[in-house]
Structures are given as C-alpha cells and as structure tokens.
Amino acid sequence: MNFISEIIGYPLGFVMWALYQITHNYALAILLFTIVTKVILLPLAFKQQKSTAAMTAFTPKLEELKKKYANNQQKLNEEQMKLYSEEGINPMSSCLPMLIQFPLLFGIFDVVYRPLTHIIRASKDIIAQATEITATIYGTNQSFTVRPEIYIVRAVKDQPDLFSNLPIEFVEKVQDFNNMLFGFIDLGTIPSFTPEVWNAASIGLIMIPFASGIAQLASSVYMYVRQKKMQAASGAAKDTGEGIQKSMMNSMNIMLFVMPVFSVYIAIGYPAAIGFYWTCSALLGFAQSILLNKIYTPEYVAGLVEKDKLKKKDKSKKRSSMMERYQQMLAEQNGTAPNPDQKQITVSGKLKDDPKDDEDEPKTEAEKISKSKQREIERKLINEARRRQAEKYGEEYFDE
C-alpha cells in the first residue's frame, strides 16, 4: 500500500509544494490543497451523485418486480437485468467512483504525512539520517515509526543542536517551515487530553479532532435527510421488509455514526496536520453535497436518464443503418438494387413479403457471389466510411 501511496503522492506533492511556495503557510497550503483535490475528484462526484439519484428514482420499479416475482428468483434476476438495460442504468456505476477515490486518498495522506519529501524537498539520505536522530526522542511512539517526517520537523525546531551534523541548509529550511495554524497551533503536535500545560495552543489542538467529527456528522445527517426526501419523492415502497430501501437506510444509519467517530479517531492519534486536513475535507465535502443536491434534483436526473436512453437508441439505429448500406451495396454490385417499381430484394435474394415457398425460389446472383468479391465490397464500404469521417473532421484521406 505504501507503494501505491508514493506513486500517487509524488504528483500531488508537486501541487502541495507549489501551494506552499505561494502561501508560505502549511495550514493554508493544506486548505488550498484540499480544495484542489476536491476539484480533481469533482467529475467522479458528479457521476456518483447522478447514479445515486437515478437509482433512488428507479427503486419503485425494482420493488414492483420483487413483489411480482417473489417466488421465482431466477425470473426476478432476468427481469431486473432487462429493466436495467431498458432504463439505461448501471447498478454498479455509483460504486465505481468510490473505488477510484481510494488510491487517490492514499496519495493525499502521503503528501500530508511527508512535508520533508514533498515541500522541503530533502533527499532520502538526509531524511534517513534525521530519522535516526529523531528516534532518540520519539522512538517509542508508534506513530513516529509509521510516518516520522512530521516528528522530524518538530524535533529540528525544538532541539536543532541534535542535527548539527546534517547540512545547514536542511536545518534552516526546516526551522523556516511555517506549520502553525492561526499562528499558535503547531500542526506537527499530537492532540492530547493531558498536556503539560493548558493554554490556547493545547486547547486549539484538542479542538481539531472534535471539529473533524462535527463536520463529518453534519455531512452525514444532511445526506441522511436528503436521501429520505428523495425516496419519498420517488414514491418508493414503504412496506418492503427486506427491500432495497431498508438496506439503503441501514447503510445510512451506520455511516451516520461510524464516520464521525472514525474522523475523531484519526485526528486524535496523529499529528494535528492530519486532523486539520480531515476537518477541511469534511467541511468541503459537506458544501459539495449541498451543491450537487441542488443540481441533481429528481426532475433533472430523470431528464439525464432519458437522454442516455435516446443516445443508446441512436447508436443502435446507426449500427442498423450500416448493415442496410452494406446490403444495398451488395445488391448494387450484382445488379439487384431495388427500385420504386419493384419489390425490394434482400441480400439472400428473397422477395420481401413473398408468399411463395422458399424452396420454389431460384437463387439470386447475390447468393452466388464469391468470398473474394464480398471482401472487396466490404473493403469499399470501410474506405467509404473512413473517407466521410476524414471529410467530417477536415483530415486528409488516403485510400488503403
């Protein structure tokens, strides 16, 4: 997993480095970095919101099928797949954006965990030496063994003499590294309920995890209430004991309590920079949910679903038109092209709507055509399609 974090973390690290060069403040850089990552993930958020809203509006039809085929699971599965196809809905499409976001999330944590690598741009050798020195102070701390760079920053600032054997440029860069929130909260410090002294800094540190939990709770409650309203508006069945609605509501109830607790847990056991990022992410996620719900109303989603269905129909018509052109070209090459005064002849040589028996009909020239002639006609058809495509986009065409 560290391998994945580093691969994704390095390009994101350049973003964080650039933001710090502009702001010269680690807290502000984290806030801007969170905004940038939300913007990067916005297309996935749009897709997920659309899929979720479409599935919510689609649920009553699924419930009707479940009632109709309650005793025939095989038939139920067949009818469900048929309904998905007719409505142009992919039941897994709402899950795919979440799966894609997980690797990116690991990269984001890698950037926040490693300011020496991504912001100060220290070499691996120097970081390794600084880690050995810092281990004499925080070696027993489990968090230090996992991600030591935030602790190195704190150690260099508190006890710079211990790092006198390292290049002076490195020590100066670390000492100049501004990782203070509001000017008095050190983002490299772990929040504690038993600080050495209670002051503004220690109170501010302990507030960060709870701010993270409250922001996540607000987002979860909002999504829960919104989901119930959408289900009521879609006319979803209320009496479905084991239906989709009950499963979705149970999932929302779990998320309602688990995510805030998880946010506090993440923020309370790690340096405050992680909790601050988690808080910013939760607040921006809350704002994003409000925005997307304003856009993706049930009426708007219904329109999008209808457009998707029309697009699929157009593609199907284009494929059918291509086959008809191919059949017509075969007929023209063999002198059997239809005209207004004659009945149309298919590629197989049969008259459409002819009442005569097939065995009494003589074979046409189209049926006797050689394979080489068919390949020649197919090649001409393909070249004609390529020529038209080139004309459409203003490109030069060469007959192959």
Question: What is the reported pLDDT for 22?
Answer: 93
pLDDT string in tens for the chain (400-residue length): 566 677 888 888 899 899 999 999 999 999 998 898 888 888 877 777 777 666 666 677 777 777 888 787 888 878 778 777 766 666 666 566 566 667 777 787 788 888 999 999 999 999 999 999 999 888 777 778 877 888 899 899 889 999 999 999 999 999 999 988 988 888 878 888 888 788 888 899 999 999 988 988 888 888 778 777 766 655 544 444 344 445 555 555 666 678 788 888 878 877 788 889 888 988 988 888 888 878 777 677 667 667 766 776 666 566 556 656 656 666 665 555 555 444 444 444 444 444 444 444 445 554 555 666 777 777 777 777 777 766 766 666 566 5
Question: What is the reported pLDDT for 207?
Answer: 92
Beta-carbon neighbour count of residue 51 at 10 Å? Answer: 21
Question: What tens digit of pLDDT does each residue of 95-121 get?
Answer: 665 666 677 777 877 888 889 999 999
Q: Which residue has the tokens 């920079």?
A: 273
Question: What is the reported pLDDT for 349?
Answer: 44
Question: What is the reported pLDDT for 171?
Answer: 93
Query: Cα-flanking dihedrals φ and ψ of residue 72, to 5°?
Result: -135, 90
Q: Which residue has the tokens 């003589």?
A: 362
Question: What is the reported pLDDT for 346?
Answer: 44
pTM: 0.64
Give 140's contacts (C-beta < 8 A, 6+ positions apart). Answer: none
H or E stretch covering 289: helix 272-295
Beta-carbon neighbour count of residue 248 at 10 Å? Answer: 18
Question: What is the reported pLDDT for 362?
Answer: 46
Q: What burial class does residue 255 get, using C-beta atoms within 10 Å of its C-beta: 0-12 exposed, 13-18 middle, 19+ buried?
A: middle
Question: What is the reported pLDDT for 21?
Answer: 93
Give 250's contacts (C-beta < 8 A, 6+ positions apart). Answer: none
Q: In 3-state terms, what secondary structure has residue 308?
A: helix
Please choose, from the candidates 183, 171, 80, 50, the residue with its C-alpha nearest in 3D space to the C-alpha of residue 122.
Answer: 171
Q: What is the rounded distance in angstroms from the CA atom of residue 288 to the CA atom of residue 277?
A: 16
Q: What is the rounded distance in angstroms from the CA atom of residue 181 to the CA atom of residue 273?
A: 9
H or E stretch covering 180: strand 180-181
Q: What is the rounded distance in angstroms from the CA atom of residue 393 to the CA atom of residue 383?
A: 16
Q: What is the rounded distance in angstroms from the CA atom of residue 255 to the CA atom of residue 268?
A: 20
